[in-house]
Amino acid sequence: MAPTSQIPTDDPVAALAPALRGMDGPETFAIVAQSSPDALAGVEYVVCVPTFRRPDMLEETLRSLAAQQGGHDFAVIVVENEGVAREGAARASTLLDAGLFKGFVIVEPRQGNCKAYNAAWRCALTRLPALQNLLGIDDDEQAEPGWLDAFLTAAKTAPAELFGGAVIPRFEDASRSWLAAHPVFRSHYDASGPAPILYSSANYLIRREVLERLGFPFLDERFDFTGGGDSDFFTRAKAAGFRFWWVQEALQRETMPARRTQSDWISARARRNGAISAAIERRRCPGLAGRLRVLAKSLALLGASLPRGLVLGLKTGSGLIGLYHAQVALGRLASEFGVEAEQYRKPEAN
């Protein structure tokens, strides 16, 4: 790995890429460590890693990236979203200096999932002149050794601009592993090929032109604490004519702490999923007529949730899993009255 350099937080903006729509305002993030410009000049692929108060898990994530097969030249952008203690930034900077990876360590002190992604993607587009593809992994996930190679192989030939991959849960409490069949823990697809849309930024590859077309801010920061900024982004990308592809072989494993296997957390996540879907639909269908259509759909889903839940419960052998469709419908309806499921407002409980 090339030597690294520490960058003061007031370092001037590097103008290594053409200005994008919406990016004429000041940056909100600070670069605290980076590899030498020479080491980054030819990099075509960057992996973005948002992190918040999980330095040990972040290190596991970064070590899984360092173990990627295929010999691909790629950079990593770690974006610390905790602006005080900054333990993740400190750990990542140490690992960057030790040569585990090359790229950037940045701090976005304004808390919020969408703010973190916007900062990482903006940093990539303005500091990596040869950039072609952006990939992502969360700080509680580990990439399988063939993850990057699978994505890049698909990106060479598939007629699509946005790619998603499977995320397999790894439960800390092994006795709860049966929950892997629950929709809140399952990936939406299970076979490689064209997909109608993606829903999650947990495991993705996005071609540069998607971000250039949609403009900054890429993710709507109103979704910071509810989640759903990624689903909204993919919805807008689809409306702009971009295509989607699923890469089942691009595997990540996500650590599931015991609190995420509790019924109240699972129920809250299901209701949140419903609220997000309704909010995105209301944005696509503004006005009274649109709102009434969304409400009618929510009521229809509530009515259908009983037979759908019975089928799901019988299929999985779990009454808890069978409640999912009803919880989604209730979350949609609650959102009509301004009830927001802000699971990310208190990250320690998420």
Q: Which of the four pLDDT bands, split at 50, 70 and 90, describes residue 189? A: very high
Query: Could you give the C-alpha distances from 196 to 167, 190, 204, in angstroms and in order?
Result: 18, 13, 15
Amino acid 138: pLDDT: 96
Whether 146 shows a pLDDT value over 70: the answer reads yes
- Determine if the pTM surpasses 0.85: yes
Residue of 159, 155, 137, 176 whose CA lies nearest to 257: 176
Using the predicted structure, report yes or no on whether residue 314 has a pLDDT greater than 50: yes
As a whole number, mean pLDDT of residues 193-197 equals 98
User: 346 pLDDT band (50/70/90 cuts)?
Assistant: low
What is the signed CA dihedral for 221, 226, 228, 229, rounded to 10 degrees?
10
Cβ 127 vs Cβ 40: under 8 Å: yes
pLDDT of residue 233: 96
- Mean pLDDT for the stretch of residues 61-89: 97
Q: pLDDT exceeding 70 applies to what percent of the chain? A: 92
The candidate with the shortest Cα–Cα distance to 279, out of 340, 199, 330, 218, is 340
Distance of CA 176 to the CA centre of its chain: 24
Q: What was the pLDDT predicted at 219?
A: 96
Of 156-160, 224-228, 304-308, 340-344, least confident by mean pLDDT is 340-344
pLDDT in tens, 7-56: 443 443 444 444 677 888 899 999 999 999 999 999 999 999 999 999 99
Instruction: Reply yes or no on whether the pLDDT at 350 is more than 90.
Output: no
**Token code pair at residue 321:** 């899993």
Q: In the prediction, which pLDDT does 30 show?
A: 97
Quote the CA–CA distance of 257 and 38 in Å, as a whole number.
40
> How far apart are alpha carbons 232 and 242 in whole angstroms?
14
Specify burial of residue 282 (Cβ count, 10 A radius: 0-12, 13-18, 19+): middle
When pLDDT is cut at 50, 70 and 90, the band that residue 290 belongs to is confident
Which of 36-40, 62-66, 88-92, 225-229 is least confident? Answer: 225-229
